[in-house]
Structure 1
């Protein structure tokens, strides 16, 4: 199943439901006399609603899904940080989602950005990291990079022992927010103000209230807000207040994932007050519906995470599953409580082939060996490339002695192959190491036993099958 195609169709269906909801809510909230006028006003809000969904909700559920990926945890949890792999992963994410990503590593105290830059996380110089690290919350929305302001969603990353590994984040330039919101205000006359838990204005359609340098404007800086009684400042929902001399209705919506509040400010004509009030209630209800729908999509993505992780996890050279894919399949077998024999295959004297005949010849050898193994294994067996000249096979519901018999046939088949690389014929053999588990274990433990068996096979002259069972 193509998960993204299915998700796309689901979103289309959800938006059809939203459109139907818009029409229904508008019809209920206004009289028949002004129905056509109100529907036109409702449609004028579509660009703003689409912007909120695209610019806030989409980065949110993308980051919340990616932060659970094993690849990310492995990169950030490594004792020695592989900067090349980190930058490669961030660049791939940037190309796939058209967002800016970063990893702030606790191990290296360095922030790696998808544009290839990195920043040393020095206490006293990089305030946001240490301030966020000390907070109890695991997710935060923030504004950063004052020369080119970015809207960030920051998520803490922990390993399986709940050790703090650092912060994974997604960012998007504020230019798109400010330009579209400002155009929206000029066209339709409505103002948007997003504020954080400190009442600092983070996003707005009013250019005069946008971030200046490193300073946020605050709601208390607005004369109409400062003039309100203290109890009304706590909740502005459905309040009629004079804003710059114009009577306006304010709708309030809590954006819970960011701990932000959205104020939708609607200027009213005296004869349109009732119409606009019903209209704003409809919009707020619609925003709540959209927010709920995207939470639903996030939960679906969580359950489909394993399917998503499988995408593009094919070894390009051999066109069989790569290490990450095989690791995921092993975890699935453990989750399903299946016994499994794990086989490591190392091509004997593979490095000299590259040195003698060239890397192109080595690639041909790998492809033909992979093709042969893939044709010879059983339907339920899982073949993957483990790295270099190593392959791995998972044999579900197969005891170690049965696996040894199957591997001996593969070993003989491999030794009988003659691989032609242009004008050169190459004979190749392989050493096989087998381990087995009948209970749920970590893959590292099973791999370790298979490595010991593989070492024994090489020690015994190569081109043989050896088995190492895990001690109870």
Structure 2
């Protein structure tokens, strides 16, 4: 009985371990998929951020640093500007930084470019100057010079008294942007859209969307954008939106460029993202299956161990697995040494030879197993059940007096007599005879069992299905 309780507890513990392992691995799998998705998102954004810093923010920071220099303020604050000095400075800056520079002087109402050209700032003809001069922004990003379209960063310049002196700016040809975008698209597979607050596309990796002669393409003109819900279009909230362009799925990520009031939309091909995430998911599932399979193998082997390698002093359900006389002798000595007193019950199935003759050896084995199963379920944990002979069993009852042992024997006798018949032999009624003995001093097992055998044979002589007791004088 103790063995089966141990086995039952072990199965429950293993079941709990399996459930916990599955829950943990499912959580791990979901976390890994989310992490892989985040990693893929970050991996796609990192080059884009590098491009934005290199191509847009670096020119902005360059113009801001130069726009606050004393040299530049000195060139622009006089009532009469020194054109030669201005061109010399702009030409030197172009050589040093590899960018186009300009100064738009408020006093001279003229724009000086680093390529040596000038433009008169006449209201109505040069609209950008007067629009941005009266605007609140100190730094403005714009597209201009349509014969060779440039991206410009215009920075307002003030003297130390806060008087507006004009604009200092830096420009880059859109051809250089397109070349860089092509390189990034070939390497990473995604497209860029730089969009202002009105939805006009200022820069793009698609050359067909780049502004030409002040004609900007608006987001609303793009078929995939027009298919989005109106609320999404109104707010230009495209982050993590899935769109289909030319029968291919793209996932959109947003990067805000607050310095210019722009939003960068990064269109990442979903097929590449799905491949990366699918690989992570497959790895997680395989790991889950391997762990679960390993746990079930562990359970199977533990069950096999309990079935094959039980301790001989533990109770089992099969008669041929009970401890034999040799093992019982060791158990008896150990119990007597520890407990100081012990009762012995010998149990014999009545008419067992007749049962075999009438119903066969298999029926006889079934009878023994049925009796062992009953005895195992109705003994205490400290009691020991063993095989004494072909149709006889022995029960060792430690710390049990003779009268208590006799009562136990009567209960076992009654229980065996009321067992349900074998399904193959419904007419077979089982009974057993029992003999009881007891010792409270150090005696050999043979001496105690000899008295129990005498009591057992007396029960058989008196008519079977009886309990008799013989104590040692």
Q: How does the TM-score come out when normalised to structure 1?
A: 0.48
Q: How does the TM-score come out when normalised to structure 2?
A: 0.48
Greater C-alpha Rg: 2
